[in-house]
Structure 1
Amino acid sequence: MKRLLWFLTIIFFCFDLPATTLKVDRAVKSLAVKDVSFLSPKLEGSKESITLQGNLVKRNNAKYNVLICHGYMIDYEQVSFLRHIFPEANILTFGFRGHSKQNKDQVCSIGKHESLDVAAAVKYFKSIPEFKGKPLFVYAFSMGAVASILAQHKDPTLFDAMVLDCPYDTAYNVVARGLDDTRFKLFGYEFGIPGKNLLKKLAFNRFTQPIVQYVLIAGGRTVKTHMECVDTVEAAKKISVPTFYISCKNDGKVPPVAIKNIYENTASSFKRLWITEGRHHFDSYFHSPEKYTYNVRKFVNNVVSRKFDKKEIGKIKED
């Protein structure tokens, strides 16, 4: 009897594994990932340009297109895992100025000039003949979400819909919160940053930028930075496409009240805000990847199928 069970087990696995492998292989073969590069203006109105790098994913029978925009201090290659959220899309993931290995000499503004990079990426994406006629989504988080809002504000034709995770409300507020929350210990006593109120007023002065970068730093990387003053709330007033905002309850850098302010000022006739149990900045995905993927796909499907036309204008969901 034992020999029979062993025999049946071996037969089961021998026949099951090739079929599973074949299914996976077919899915992988349907992908075509290649390295790409394109030009972005060095500054708005400038004739000088900089080169940006990225990865382009082409899928057979894709239903829509997605541009993925990363956050501050992160390289585009580090967010390639997010592509699985969009199984039916052609996808472009690119590195913002100053963030890729090839462009370390470029200067990051944490949103303002990165909006030029977003527009340049869209221009490149839309120049590909086989991608035309499909709706274009942006999936962006943190700095990338801010840059996408600013870009859409300047050119409302860029995106057909937007998924925006933890964009900051204003550059001033994100610096002010960072200065207020920064502490250091000396002889067993805890102190805040001396003269922080003056630093808030001088936050965008070139002499105080090292301090600004210190309070915003996330990880061990260093990126040449000169933060520029932007108002995401004001820019959102011209966002008319379907928009899905995501926020973490415990985000110290960009609390839910900041994103709610952006959401309320967004002009879109179909907008959503989801406040998750995330533990810190851009943690909604990592806190519950399955739930996150489900909700993002649900929003995308509603837009692609035009089901949002029959739904209520605004809705806030809190876990």
Structure 2
Amino acid sequence: MIWWWVFVTIFLIVSIAIYSISVFGYRNITMRKKLTTDECFQAVERRGLFTRTKFEKLHKQEIVIRNNDDLKLHSYYIEANPHSKKVMILLHGYTRAYPMSMQFTDLYIKQGFNLLAIDHRAHGESEGKYTSYGYYEKYDIDSWVNWIREQIGPNTLIGLHGISLGGGTALEYLHINQHAKFVIADCPYSDLAELIRYQIKYLYKAPTFIFYHTIGFLVKIFARFNLADVRPIQAVAKSELPILFIHGNRDRFIPTYMSKKLYEAKQKGLKRLWIAEGAGHSDAYRRNREQYEEQVVSFLQEVLLMNDNSAKVV
């Protein structure tokens, strides 16, 4: 009889441990504490990428819209080229906010673009509780695209530049895209379920077969989406939109091979892949700024040649 109670006790302890760790994992994936706007400005300043002073000097307009879920979404529209009909939507990474996207301001302004730097749902000054890695966010992007078309004009050349979460979301948007003309995806994930399995195994050194399904169950119950339903690689495989994939060769958070898989999956339309030497996660621009800009400008040259309503990149 005593062995029975020992077994039950061990079973309960193990079950509680698995559940507790899975709750931590689920919250880490969908509800991790976000950096504030001020903290993001401090981060880009520490890395020498942008300053709040430069931001304050920009000609800009704070924009708030409501999405299909009735959440308030926040952004800044930066109109540095008043007569331009080219707009780049900048999409930041997980737990960040719009200031992290501002590192690309000079790059795109020089190429004649205006900018829409957004806060994803549940980030920065936008409303929301959960992050879904593009499952719901792609509809938020569509709301921003529609805002641009309404305010700037239906013939506006719209591009998406996303990092990490932003890159994956930009690619997920291709499932429903009608008006964006190109995507630049920096360190995106190809398949969310595969990414979570990878992180459980290699980053947290835990048994995947136990924790993946428990975490996935909690995500489904509370955040209301399936990890397996977020597969940017499916959208990429069907899309003819020009895409530039960028990834650091030392990225351990979202492995480099995911961008390689995305590149290989794309069968139609213009595609480019650049692997940034020595760069970790979300670090390609800081580590290789000159090469990064060369890759982006070269890609834009090709894209703009395909669009009659846009002037050549300078």
Deviations 1:49-88 (A, max 9, x none): 1110000011223252111111111111232222112021
1:83 corresponds to 2:105: yes
Tell me which amino acid in the other structure corresponds to 1:202: T
Partner of 1:139: 161
Segments of 5+ residues of structure 2 without an aligned counterpart are 1-53, 308-314
Over 3 Å counting, the alpha-carbon distance change for 1:225 and 1:280 in structure 2 is: farther
Q: Once the two structures are superposed, what CA deviation does each residue of 1:223-268 show, in whole Å capped at 9, x if it has no partner?
A: x998743111112122211111111111112222211111111243
Amino acid at match of 1:79: S
Aligned residue number for residue 49 of structure 2: none
Q: Equivalents in 2 of 1:258, 1:232: separation in Å?
A: 10
Q: How does 1:227-242 map to 2 (within 5 A)?
A: 228-229=227-228, 230-242=230-242
Moved more, 89-98 or 261-270: 261-270
Corresponding position of 2:138? 115
Q: Quick one: distance in 2 between partners of 1:62 and 1:198?
A: 53
Equivalent position amino acid for 2:217 in 1: N
**Which segment drifts farther, 263-272 or 244-253?**
263-272
For the aligned residues, what is the CA RMSD?
2.8
Give the structure with the larger strand fraction: 1
- Residue 96 (structure 2) aligns with: 74
Measured in 2, the distance between the counterparts of 1:70 and 1:259 equals: 17
Pairs within 5 Å for 1:143-158: 143-155=165-177, 157-158=178-179
Give the equivalent residue in structure 1 for 2:182.
161
Share of identical aligned residues, percent?
A: 19
Whether 1:36 aligns to 2:57 is no
Query: TM-score scaled to structure 2, two decimals?
Result: 0.72
In the TM superposition, 1:170-209 aligns within 5 A as 170-183=191-204, 192-193=205-206, 195-206=207-218
Classify 1:30/1:99 alpha carbon distance in 2 versus 1 (closer, same or farther; 3 Å).
closer
The aligned runs of 1:232-311 (5 Å cut-off) are 232-306=232-306
In 1, Cα distance between the equivalents of 2:124 and 2:226? 18
Partners of 1:112 and 1:228 within 8 A in 2: no
Match among 141, 147, 160 for residue 124 of structure 1: 147
Measure, in 2, the Cα distance between the counterparts of 1:152 and 1:256. 21
CA distance in 2, matches of 1:304, 1:136: 11
**Alignment partners' CA distance in 2, 1:28 and 1:100:** 16
Q: Which runs of 5+ in 1 are unaligned?
A: 1-26, 43-48, 184-191, 211-223, 308-319
**Inter-partner Cα distance in structure 2 for 1:78 and 1:37:** 19
Cα 1:196–1:176 shift into 2, 3 Å: same
Q: Is the 8 A contact 2:84 2:113 kept in 1?
A: yes
Alpha-carbon distance in structure 1 between the residues aligned to 2:224 and 2:248: 26
Secondary structure class of the residue paired with 2:185:
strand
The reply on whether 1:65 has 2:87 as its aligned counterpart is: yes
Amino acid at match of 1:65: V
Displacement of 1:174 after TM fit? 1.1
Check conservation: 1:202, 1:208, Cα contact below 8 A.
Answer: no
Secondary structure of the equivalent of 1:127?
helix
- Per-residue Cα deviation, 1:34-57 (whole angstroms, up to 9, x for no partner): 110112122xxxxxx111000001
Say if 1:81 and 1:279 are closer, same or farther in 2 by CA, change over 3 A.
closer
